[in-house]
């Protein structure tokens, strides 16, 4: 990944000043290895996929992005990745199978070098079950003890874990399967109540805000408050137990994700408690991090496992679109996107550099000029036709020029497209198509929240140097079909058809008996889109909605 040159070494030492001790240790190892290679005059690659060993990967559910799409990235780079049977993971209709997952992990761990594990799957059954579970304290304690047994039985195993703080959606909506049923009615009140609780603890509430706080509390039934806050307290205690294990070395590295977060809310409130606990336990960032996001952690931790096994440090240069750029605080986050990207790079075991000349990846991040997040394409479908916005503003035009110039300069370019809350920027992709740049990128991502997209683009991009061009193009095709064709266009078009034909937007969130209709129309429109915009891609695929809703899709090639 790194060139053997004096300038490269100087770049490395300049960067050390910004980063923590863990990076110094990694870089010293790297320099020793480089000098040994030079002295012995061997010019063979100093790391390889085969040098690493088997990696076990337990995601937090079976959604395409969590399960096989992440697996395809790692396998395309040549690594031996082993996933549990899909039926053991949570999905749209079951709450997962923690006991069976633990059994699978115990059976496979002795033959593996590393394990990347979603604690939500092992403790509650999955990410969504973590928000609705009825797991007893006795069961929780037993499942937590399994992490200690895993370490005792496999002292050689590198154990990487990603955990989550329960999210605090700003409102509930009909058909949502991700929260307790009462959140549809009381979700907005719960969000506002906890927002004011959070604000009152870090600042001062006005008289009007204090009255609002009391009103929101009265509006939420006591049984709902008991259930919601009680589950959160149990989950928070489990997270602290995982942090204790990390401090003791049972877990090698732990990430805590803040999914669908906001600057003021219960999730932000709990994170302040977590950060104070980490300080109390003297947990360094080389062992533990808490950051916005969740779905991208799988690919980032898999990168870390690979980089630890191969003793490699990818160099990444990050640049942002003109305007607010890296100072953008995107929706569903409580920090600047530049801070999230820097943290994601640390999780993956990479190093940020100032120039793209010696970078393994130049990540370009598409943000809105004023730092806003544009709402999801047609978030609430109606009978009105969906019309994609293909008119590029000055910011998009300037960003497209950045991409073009970087590709023409020969840099390994990846694009994280976070201008919209979910789905690609149609205007940007339209320009990249016209300039024949789509498949000249190393990676692209624009599928969900900002941190999801930046993290997945980063994690994929750092591995593309190990891939064949065919493998890279396949992964790009999957992202363009999912993030651009589906999320930014077809999903909204079919949402409109659902309202017109069946009279309710609720089918958009819970397809029920309209699943066959949606999958048929999704497939037809996606094939048309691919034929028009990506003529080199095979249209011999079908589109499925495995979670029985329009939010995500699975493109299945024959």
Q: Are residues 284 and 392 in the same domain?
A: no
Q: Which domain holds residue 148?
A: 57-169+229-311
Residue 216 lies inside a defined structural domain of this protein: no
187 inside domain = no
Please give the structure tokens belonging to residue 405: 């110039």
Q: How many domains does the chain have?
A: 3
Domain-embedded: residue 84: yes
Q: Which of 311, 337, 355 marks a domain boundary? A: 311
Q: Please name the helix (run of DSSP H) or strand (run of DSSP E) that holds residue 381, with its range, or none.
A: none
Q: How far is CA 179 from the centre of its chain?
A: 20
Q: How many CB atoms lie within 10 A of CB 175?
A: 16
311, 336, 354 - which closes a domain? 311
Beta strands in 69-210 (DSSP E): 81-82, 114-118, 158-165
Q: Is 282 helix (H, G, I), strand (E, B) or coil?
A: coil
Whether residue 75 is found in the same domain as residue 26 = no
Which whole-number Å values give the CA distances from 515 to 135, 157, 232, 512, 551, in the listed order?
A: 31, 43, 33, 6, 13
225-240: per-residue pLDDT in tens? Answer: 999 999 999 999 999 9
- Same domain membership, residue 298 and residue 413: no
Question: Alpha helix locations (H) across 249-384?
Answer: 266-280, 297-310, 337-348
Q: At what angle do helices 337-348 and 450-461 cross, to 10 degrees?
A: 40
Dump strand ranges (E) for 321-467.
351-352, 361-366, 413-417, 443-445
Query: Is there a domain that residue 347 lies in?
Result: yes
Residue 34 has what pLDDT? 44
Residue 176's pLDDT is what? 78
Q: Are 19 and 351 in contact (CB under 8 A)?
A: yes
Answer yes or no: do 15 and 109 share one domain.
no
State whether 425 and 491 are in the same domain: yes
Amino acid 39: pLDDT: 33
Backbone angles phi, psi at 343, to 5 degrees: -65, -40
Residue 165, H or E segment: strand 158-165
User: Looking at the structure, do residues 291 and 351 belong to the same domain, yes or no?
Assistant: no
Please identify, among 250, 282, 311, the residue that sits at the C-terminal boundary of a domain. Answer: 311
Q: Are 32 and 67 members of one domain?
A: no
Q: 189 lies in a domain?
A: no
Rounded to two decimals, the pTM is 0.89
- 196 assigned to some structural domain: no
Instruction: Please indicate, yes or no, whether residues 75 and 155 belong to a single structural domain of this protein.
Output: yes
pLDDT of amino acid 52: 53
**Same-domain status, 466 and 533:** yes
Question: Is 175 among the domain residues?
Answer: no
Query: For residue 188, is it within any domain?
Result: no
* Same domain flag for 24 and 98: no
Paired tokens of 351: 């190093």
**In this predicted model, what pLDDT tens digit does every residue of 526-548 receive, in sequence order?**
999 999 999 999 999 999 999 99
Nearest to 58 by CA among 155, 163, 151: 163
One DSSP character per residue, 390-404 reads ----HHHHHHHHHHH
d(CA 149, CA 555): 39
The C-alpha atoms of residue 271 and residue 201 are separated, in whole angstroms, by 13
Same-domain status, 285 and 348: no
Whether 289 and 376 map to the same domain: the answer is: no
Spatial distance between the Cα atoms of 484 and 430, rounded to a whole number of angstroms: 10
For the chain, residues with pLDDT lower than 70 are: 1-52
């Amino acid at each position: 990944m790194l060139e053997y040159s004096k300038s490269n070494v100087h770049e490395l030492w300049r960067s050390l000043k910004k980063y923590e001790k863990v990076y110094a240790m990694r870089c010293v190892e790297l320099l020793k290895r480089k000098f040994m290679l030079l002295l012995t005059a061997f010019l063979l690659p100093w790391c390889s996929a085969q040098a690493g060993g088997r990696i076990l990967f337990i995601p937090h559910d079976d959604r395409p992005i969590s399960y096989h799409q992440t697996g395809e990235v790692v396998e395309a780079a040549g690594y031996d990745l082993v996933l549990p049977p899909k039926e053991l993971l949570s999905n749209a209709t079951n709450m997962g199978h923690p006991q069976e997952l633990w059994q699978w992990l115990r059976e496979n761990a002795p033959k593996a070098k590393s394990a990347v594990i979603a604690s939500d799957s092992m403790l509650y059954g999955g990410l969504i079950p973590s928000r609705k579970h009825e797991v007893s304290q006795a069961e929780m304690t037993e499942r937590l003890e399994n992490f200690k047994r895993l370490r005792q039985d496999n002292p050689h195993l590198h154990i990487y874990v990603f955990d989550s703080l329960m999210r605090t959606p700003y409102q509930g909506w009909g058909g949502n399967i991700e929260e307790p049923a009462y959140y549809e009615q009381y979700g907005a009140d719960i969000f506002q109540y906890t927002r004011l609780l959070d604000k009152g603890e870090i600042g001062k509430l006005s008289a009007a805000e204090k009255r609002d706080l009391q009103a929101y509390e009265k509006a939420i039934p006591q049984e709902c408050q008991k259930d919601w806050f009680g589950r959160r307290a149990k989950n928070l205690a489990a997270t602290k137990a995982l942090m204790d294990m990390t401090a003791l070395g049972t877990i090698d590295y732990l990430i805590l994700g803040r999914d669908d977060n906001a600057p003021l809310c219960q999730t932000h409130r709990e994170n302040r408690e977590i950060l104070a606990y980490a300080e109390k336990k003297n947990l360094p960032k080389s062992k533990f991090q808490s950051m916005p996001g969740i779905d991208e952690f799988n690919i980032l931790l898999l990168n870390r496992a690979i980089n630890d096994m191969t003793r490699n440090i990818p160099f990444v240069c990050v640049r942002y679109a003109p305007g607010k750029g890296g100072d953008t605080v995107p929706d569903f986050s409580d920090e600047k996107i530049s801070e999230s990207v820097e943290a994601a790079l640390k999780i993956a075991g990479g190093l940020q550099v100032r120039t793209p000349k010696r970078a393994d990846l130049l990540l370009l991040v598409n943000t809105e000029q004023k730092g806003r997040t544009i709402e999801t394409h047609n978030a609430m479908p109606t009978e009105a036709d969906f019309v994609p916005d293909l008119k590029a503003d000055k910011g998009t035009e300037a960003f497209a020029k950045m991409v073009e110039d970087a590709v023409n300069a020969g840099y390994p370019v990846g694009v994280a497209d976070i201008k919209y809350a979910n789905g690609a920027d149609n205007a940007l992709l339209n320009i990249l198509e016209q300039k024949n740049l789509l498949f000249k990128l190393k990676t692209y991502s624009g599928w969900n929240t900002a941190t999801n997209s930046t993290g997945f683009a980063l994690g994929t991009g750092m591995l593309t140097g190990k891939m064949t061009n065919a493998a890279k193009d396949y992964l790009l095709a999957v992202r363009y079909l999912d993030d651009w064709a589906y999320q930014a266009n077809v999903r909204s078009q079919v949402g409109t058809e659902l309202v017109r034909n069946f009279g309710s937007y609720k089918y958009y969130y819970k397809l029920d008996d309209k699943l066959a209709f949606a999958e048929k129309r999704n497939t037809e429109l996606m094939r048309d889109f691919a034929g028009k915009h990506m003529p080199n891609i095979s249209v011999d695929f079908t589109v499925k909605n495995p979670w029985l809703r329009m939010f995500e899709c699975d493109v299945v090639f024959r």
